[in-house]
Amino acid sequence: MGESRPHWLNEQEQRAWLAFLTVAGLLERRLGQQLEHDAGLSHLQYEILVRLSAAPKGELRMSELATAMLNSKSKLSYQIDRLEHAGLVRRRSCPSDMRAVYAVLTELGRDTLDQAAPGHIATVRALFVDVLTPDQLTVIGEGLGAVAERLRDEP
């Protein structure tokens, strides 16, 4: 059997890939620090609150939330436990399907999100959006959108 040789990245590809990895890691860390400082939330917890806030009645089935967030059910359950303990989210069962559990945003959760959002958006702007030109934002949006589409299409 012949061994296939890797198709190595050229200089342009390597530069783009390493820049992406660096930016993704640094942004995640800085956004997490900002959210922890301003609201006592992790970046993942903030995203959970955002998704619940955008959902009808401020609630989502746990399995749908896990799928939307691209997280395992156990990791999501752990975060929901922490948010529930803080009074930001509550769980409710479904009367028609006892297996279904919903995560529901509480008023305190909505208030916490409202307090955290301005600082979060300001940080996203300062560290990402305002650094780039409109043309660069378009290219990044289209390029990463294509990558996301490819990843969603694969099993």
Question: For residue range 46-89, what is the model confidence (pLDDT) as tens digits?
Answer: 999 999 999 999 999 998 998 888 777 788 899 999 999 999 99
Question: Sorting pLDDT into bands at 50, 70 and 90, what band is 100?
Answer: confident
Question: CA 133, CA 93: separation in Å to the nearest integer?
Answer: 47
Task: Over range 80-105, report the average pLDDT.
Answer: 90
Average the pLDDT over each of 56-60, 93-97, 123-127, 142-146 and give the range with the smallest value. 93-97
Average pLDDT, the chain: 92
Domains of the chain: 16-153 (1.10.10.10)
Adjacency order of strands within the sheet including 89-94: 59-61, 97-105, 89-94
93 bridge partner residues = 101
The answer, yes or no, to whether residue 12 has pLDDT greater than 70, is: yes
| pLDDT the model gives residue 75 | 85
102 bridge partner residues = 61, 92
Q: φ and ψ at 154, to 5 degrees?
A: -85, 145
Sign of CA dihedral 34, 35, 36, 38: positive
pTM here?
Answer: 0.84
Nearby residues of 32 by Cβ (< 8 Å), 6 or more positions away = 42, 43
